Structure formats: C-alpha cells, structure tokens
Structure 1
Amino acid sequence: MSLTKAPQLKVLVNGAGIAGSTFAYWLTRTGLNASITVLERSPFPRPTGQSIEIRGPAISIVEKMGLLPSVLARNTTEEGTRLINAQSKIVAEFGKGGFTSEYEILRSDLCGLFLDASKGMKNVNYVYGDYVTAVQQTDQTVDVTFNSGARDSFDLIVGADGSASRTRTLILDEQTRKGSYNFIGQYIAYFSIPRIESDTKHWYWYNAPKGRGLMMRPHRNGKTIGCYVVVTTPAHDHYDALAEAALESGPEKQKELLRIYFCDAGWQAERILAGMDECDDFYMSRSAYVKLPTWTNNRAVLIGDAAHATFGVGTSLAVEGAYFLAGELGKIKHSNDIPAALKRYEATYRKVQGDGADLPPGFPQFAFPQTALAIKVRDALAWVFCKTKAHKLLPGDKPDDSKLPPYEWVAV
C-alpha cells in the first residue's frame, strides 16, 4: 500500500483512556494522515476515577500538546499527604513534591482533556459500546471481528485497554503472556462523597488491621471529596474469595462486602460507608502489574497499562509510550514498514522506561499492614521518612524533555 494517497493508514485503537487518546492525538501529528478509530467497550466515557498525576517527560509531552495550563486549571487542589491514626492524629505529613504532585488531576478530567484534543483532529473517530472479539493477522492486514458482529481490516491495531487487556490475549500467544498479569493482593473502590467543613485539602491515609485502608482526597469543585476503600491481602497473588465473588456480582454486592469489612474499621469509616451508599460514581477493581517480554506482534502493539501496568507512575508511562509509538510510526514510508516501526518503538521506549514500571519493594503489603503491631512499625518508619525529608528523593514533577527523541511533528 502506498502512503501517497489519503487515508494513508487505517488504524484501530482499543481503549479510549489516557494511552489510547494520547496516541490518537500524536499519530495525527506525524503527517501520515491516518484514519484512526478509537474503540471503547463502555457505552460512554467513564466520568469517575481516582486522583492521578503526571511527572517528568510526560509533563513535557502534555506541554507540547498545549494542555499544561488546562491540567493546572483542573488540579485537585491537594496540598499534601497526611498519614493518620484512628483519633485523626497526624503520624507523618508530606507536602507537595512528595506523594502529591503539582500536576495532580482526576483521571476523568485528564482523559477528558486528551479525548477532546484528539477527537478534534482530522480522521479520528471514537466508537463506544463495542469491542474486539477476534484478531487475524496477515502480512498486509489485521482482520478484526467485533462483538457487534461487524468485521473490518486495518493496517495496525493498538491495544490500550488497561491491565486486564482483551487485546493482549488476542495478539500475543499464551507462552508470551504467561505470568504477565500479576495480582498484587489489593482491591480498591473509588467514589465521591459530600465535603464537610472540617475537610481540608489533604490526602488523608488511614489504616486498620487486616490490610484495610481508608483514604480521602480533595476535589477542586469544593463540594465533594474522593474516597478510596482498600482491601489488601497478605501477599501478591493472594486472592480474597469474597471480594472476587463481589467483583463478579456487581456494585451492590461490592458495597455490601465493604460494609461488612469496614463496619469496625474506625476513624471516619461510618461516614465514608454512608456516603458510598448514596454515591453515583462507585467503581471497584483489583490492582495488578503487568510485565511482558514483548509488546509487539507483527502489526499489533500494546501501550499503557495493557503493556506495563504499574503503580504511581502508570499515567506518565502511558503518555510517554503513546508519544514514542506515534513518533516511530511517523518515520515509516510504507505500510510494510509498520512491524519494524513497532519493534523500534519497543526497543527505544524500554530504555527510557527503565525501572519505572517496577513496583516499590514490599508494596502494597508493607503500606497496608495486616496487624496493629505492623501498622505501628510502618508508622514509625513513615515518621522517620518524613523527618529526614527522604521523600524529596522521589521523582520530581518538573517538565523534562531530555529523554524525548527529536521526532518531527506537523503543526496544528
């Protein structure tokens, strides 16, 4: 296929989240004039989600998109992190630049910015309420079957559909995927509750025995706060049978389980659980990290959490990976060059990513202890971490384009 006629490439992106929408934006900036379909299984953009952040090179990429002022304008207003006990006494406190970034934003807000930026670009089409059920590759095409029954062929398919990626199972063989999805022993529910006068603009983190955690984080609207209800098992790959059953049964069963698990948790558990029953944005999932020996297969590729889900820096890695993939594709002269471009993307970005996709040692079990004694030990270490200002060694939140290749982009 020649790249002298428009549309030059026909691309399917599975997942309209951060990685998918960022990639769609940057691919239109390559000058390839690609026809891009971004497919999302949900019938509409999900308006919920936790507070996330961008750091390092990802900040520079967002700046190149012209979106940095919009990100700052949507900052959650969080001023820092307070680790507290059942009496609301502060055990350790960390200001901005530690666990709280200058670029703290709700996932739904950041997704919305990327979605608006990309869907306004030429030849980008978002499709909701469908998903891919089968993928068959040839030397020249990727033939796709959709749940709706429709079929189509593409030059390239991109899996950006999260840590539990369906695309991953369709484009990589079982041996390649073996051991790639790793449950870290944690379940988290996210939702919003009404703000009260005593709430401050801090991330409050409270632990109770049996790996339970309650967190509250501010929203910029001043009317609600974000709540995080956490259940942590004693070890990675240790599943909670009741939590698994609740995930299969839906939100009402999940809320019922959390009411049982946290009825005696202390602190503001009663308020949080009452708010949970009234909220309209409840979402619960298990936490996992993904580590693969390869992200590519011929004309198929994975980005974001589908390729390398992790903790804390997953958003930044998703933004960076999407940028690198689009940049490498921008070098091709012919559709036949796609497989080589995908391999080049993986080789280039893995070097930049480095150890960024690795979990902190002992996480999350050390951060969410099983016993009261272990919580005291963790609190003591957190106090030392705070007093010595060791948290200042965490990755910074300043723009950094030193690791970004000099790709050529078309002006918009």
Structure 2
Amino acid sequence: MQDAGVGGVSVGGGVDCDVLVIGGGIVGLSTAHALSSLAPGTRVTVLEKESGPARHQTGRNSGVIHSGIYYRPGSLKARFAVRGAAEMVKFCTEHGIPHEVTGKLIVATDRSELPRLHSLVQRGRENGIPVRELGPAQIAEYEPEISGLAAIHVGTTGIVDYGRVAAQLAESSGAEIVYGAEVDLISRRPSAVAVRTTSGRVVRARALVNCAGLQCDRIARLAGDDPGMRIIPFRGEYHDLARPSLVRGLVYPVPDPAFPFLGVHLTRGIGGGVHVGPNAVPALAREGYRWSTVRPRDLGTELAWPGSWRMAARHWRYGAGEIHRSLSKAAFTEAVRRLLPGVTEADLTPAEAGVRAQAVLRDGTLVDDFLIREAPRTVHVLNAPSPAATASLPIGREIATRALRVLRSA
C-alpha cells in the first residue's frame, strides 16, 4: 500500500524511512534539516558512527565563517560560500548561537604576492563581497602587531562554533539520528536501499545520501559505485597563542593558488583565544590527528591510488615545507613571524589538530570544488572542502533537492 505523502513525495511501504543520510557532520545534518523544510513529512534517518555529531572535520576546524573571496566566480564554492555566510549569521541569530562578524585581513608580506592580492580584490568584487585595499599604515589601524606591504579587508568574514551549529541542526531537523552506527554493508535494489551497521541494525530507505566525509569514497564503493577519486587525508595542525592580545581579529596570508589550502593564519575564536594554523601534512590515517596514529588499511588505500603518487610528484616541494614546519617548531614559528613579527616559540602551544578529507582524482588533481555525484537511488557527496561549514545551509538544500528528485523519479 502506498501513501500519497507530503510535499510532492510519495511514501512507499516496506521501508523504514524515505531518505537515509550516512554521516552526522554539518553537511549531513544540514541535508536532513533541508529535507524537513523542503518536503515536510519526509521521513529522514541519519546514521553517524561516532557517539555524537561533528566529531571530525566539523568540530575540528578554525570556526571561520568564510566570505567566499577566494573562490572562482560561478563555482559552487563561490556561490554557496557567499550565500552561506549570510545564512549562517541569520541561523545563529535565530537560535542564539554565539557568533561574530569580525571581518579579516589578507596580508601580502612579499612583493611577489602583490599581483595575487590584487587578483583577490577583483575576485571578491566579482563575487559581490565588500573589499577594502589597505597600505601598511592602514594595516596597523586594524592590527598594530601585523606586518605587511599591503592588505585587503574583507568585511563579511566571521567566527562561530560549528559544533554548536551542528547540534542545533540535528535538533531542528526532526530526523531520527542514530549514533554509534558505523555502516558495513549496503544493498541497493530497484525498490529500496538497505544499509546494515556493524551492530547488525538494518535500515531500509527509498533514497540514500552519502555525507560520510573522510569515509565517503568507501561508502560509495560499498554501494557498488566507482567514485573516480579517493580521499587522501591531510592533517591540519594548530597552536594556541599564549599572548592573544597580539591579534585583534582574523589575519590570513595570500594563498598559493596551486594548492587548495589557505596557509597558516591567525584566528581569534568565539572564546577570545587565538588559533594559529593550520599547516597541511599528509595524515597516516583518515582520523590521524597525530603523527603517531598509523592505520595500515588507510595508508594502503593512499599508496595504492595512482593519484596519490601523481599528486606527490606535482606538489612535493610544497609538501616537504609543510612537513618541515610540522616537525620543527622553530620553522613553524618562522612562518608565523612573516605576519606577526613579535611572536616567539614560547608563545605557541600545540592545540587540537583536524584532518581534511581531500578528494584526489586518478591523475593527481586535488579536487578544489564540491563534488556531488548521483547514482540509482543515491546521492554521493565526494568532496566538501572548506568552506563547507560556512556553506552548509545552501549545500544542504542542494543535496536535499537532489535526494527529493531521486524519490520523485523512483
């Protein structure tokens, strides 16, 4: 027997839910939240292998609401970041989540960086972002301890605790959220998708959404799909600044366009402390938050993927520098001193690290935009790089729209 359903989506019998989301990070929870808004009455279940939400990428980043200035005009990252920053501020205001629109400086410390800085000004304006160009004296008005030849001030950047945002999305979504539910088997049939967890629980759904982050390529393969990429984990190592008074807000270097990381930056958080970092070093496990964490299965997957070797051949100089700064506090401090000359090694205390789930193609390309692919009864989110947290509300709607299309076409 079938029910006509709500929101244009029919609800079939013989299933436990309409949409099953794998992954309880901010993207998966935003998708569940969007489904409840776009199609009220849709039954949604979220499976998360950890004991609570946002335990990996979402809960281990610098907490920045990105403006979208870095991203190619017209790209998903640019569109979703600009829209997402405004929506994130609105969401936090409505739900009483502490946040602040601080603005930030992007600072050129070498003449070779000036053309890239000017390109960012143009890119920001094309993306509709308010940007102000600054000389050395104007930099000092914002950040007296920061040294630079030139800078731009980006007014729409902010800060927030994304763990709090994820918890609120979980509460507001109306979905059934199951923690401690690691997936080990997926069986896809013409009428439904059945997913089994390691505890033996089986959940049947009319559509599956893979938002598994660090494990997303494995989930795709469990579903019988070739994702055409592999997740190569990069650990971002942070330090806390012992003298937070040295930095008033957010200060970033000019990024290297050849590598999809923003470089070591200074971020004053909601609690008043200042985070310094991250660097980007290859992790020896997908959840490898220390050098000492080595998982042979994860390492074997990385080494077996041809794209890993091609990426290494292309970017080994950059990577060697990142590893050097990881292993040498003096080298890390020297990198920070380019922006903040007054900092010393004693000012930097190791803080909690994060791991970025970087999608790498077979030819060694580091995927720089959101990568979403559809398969029968399934939507796979295979790359959700920064600014995924900032863009989580619009990206959640995009994924939810695709999932609803799967339901309607079934």
TM above 0.5, one fold?
yes
Which residue in the other structure is 2:75 paired with? none
- TM-aligned CA deviation for residue 49 of structure 1: 1.4
Q: Does 1:203 align with 2:229?
A: no
> Kindly tell me: are residues 269 and 298 of structure 1, through their superposed partners in 2, closer, same or farther at Cα, counting changes over 3 Å?
farther
From 104, 107, 113, the equivalent of 1:82 is 107
Q: CA separation in 1, counterparts of 2:283 and 2:88?
A: 37
Paired residues of 1:58 and 1:320 also in contact (CA < 8 A): yes
- TM-aligned CA deviation for residue 24 of structure 1: 0.9
From 284, 301, 314, the equivalent of 2:379 is 301
From 53, 58, 63, the equivalent of 2:66 is 53
Which residue in the other structure is 1:228 paired with? 277
Paired residues of 1:155 and 1:299 also in contact (CA < 8 A): yes
The alignment partner of 1:251 has SS state of coil
Matches within 5 A, 1:87-236: 89-97=147-155, 102-106=156-160, 109-122=161-174, 124-162=175-213, 164-165=215-216, 166-171=218-223, 173-174=225-226, 177-178=227-228, 180-181=229-230, 187-190=235-238, 192-205=240-253, 214-222=264-272, 224-231=273-280
Paired residues of 1:214 and 1:230 also in contact (CA < 8 A): yes
Q: Which amino acid aligns with 2:274?
A: I
> Kindly tell me: are residues 60 and 256 of structure 1, through their superposed partners in 2, closer, same or farther at Cα, counting changes over 3 Å?
closer
Which residue in the other structure is 2:31 paired with? 23
Matches within 5 A, 1:210-359: 214-222=264-272, 224-231=273-280, 243-245=282-284, 250-251=289-290, 253=292, 260-265=327-332, 266=334, 267=337, 268=343, 270-271=345-346, 274-276=348-350, 279=351, 281-285=352-356, 287-288=358-359, 289-290=366-367, 295-302=373-380, 306-310=381-385, 312-315=386-389, 318-327=392-401, 338=407, 340=409
Q: CA separation in 2, counterparts of 1:171 and 1:294?
A: 15
Paired residues of 1:78 and 1:203 also in contact (CA < 8 A): no
The alignment partner of 1:75 has SS state of strand
Q: CA separation in 2, counterparts of 1:293 and 1:74?
A: 28
Q: Does 1:12 align with 2:81?
A: no
From 48, 52, 61, the equivalent of 1:44 is 52
TM-score by length of 1: 0.60
Paired residues of 1:134 and 1:170 also in contact (CA < 8 A): yes
Paired residues of 1:77 and 1:220 also in contact (CA < 8 A): no
Q: Which amino acid aligns with 2:382?
A: A
Q: Which amino acid aligns with 1:188?
A: G
Which residue in the other structure is 2:120 paired with? none
- Stretches of structure 2 lacking an aligned partner (at least 5 in a row): 12-16, 68-80, 111-144, 294-321, 338-342, 360-365
Q: CA separation in 2, counterparts of 1:200 and 1:18?
A: 28
Q: CA separation in 1, counterparts of 2:346 and 2:254?
A: 14
- TM-aligned CA deviation for residue 13 of structure 1: 0.9
Which residue in the other structure is 1:348 paired with? none
Percent identity between the two aligned chains:
17
The alignment partner of 2:237 has SS state of strand
Q: CA separation in 1, counterparts of 2:186 and 2:106?
A: 45
Q: Which amino acid aligns with 1:307?
A: L
TM-score by length of 2: 0.60
Give per-residue Cα distances to partners, 1:100-142, cap 9 Å, x unaligned: xx25234xx24532531442343x1222232211111111111
Paired residues of 1:131 and 1:146 also in contact (CA < 8 A): yes
CA RMSD of aligned residues (A): 4.1
Paired residues of 1:23 and 1:323 also in contact (CA < 8 A): yes
> Kindly tell me: are residues 182 and 327 of structure 1, through their superposed partners in 2, closer, same or farther at Cα, counting changes over 3 Å?
closer
Which residue in the other structure is 1:376 paired with? none
Give per-residue Cα distances to partners, 1:144-188, cap 9 Å, x unaligned: 1112232221222111122551322323533xx23x3476x9652
The alignment partner of 1:120 has SS state of helix
Q: Which amino acid aligns with 1:205?
A: P
Q: CA separation in 2, counterparts of 1:168 and 1:43?
A: 23
The alignment partner of 2:279 has SS state of strand
Give per-residue Cα distances to partners, 1:287-325, cap 9 Å, x unaligned: 4454799711111112xxx33434x54445543332134
Paired residues of 2:170 and 2:177 also in contact (CA < 8 A): no
- Stretches of structure 1 lacking an aligned partner (at least 5 in a row): 233-242, 342-412
Q: Which amino acid aligns with 1:77?
A: T
- TM-aligned CA deviation for residue 21 of structure 1: 1.3
Q: How many residues align?
A: 302
- TM-aligned CA deviation for residue 29 of structure 1: 2.0
- TM-aligned CA deviation for residue 248 of structure 1: 7.6
Paired residues of 2:284 and 2:291 also in contact (CA < 8 A): no
Q: Which amino acid aligns with 1:96?
A: V
Q: Which amino acid aligns with 1:150?
A: R
> Kindly tell me: are residues 257 and 16 of structure 1, through their superposed partners in 2, closer, same or farther at Cα, counting changes over 3 Å?
farther
- TM-aligned CA deviation for residue 68 of structure 1: 5.3
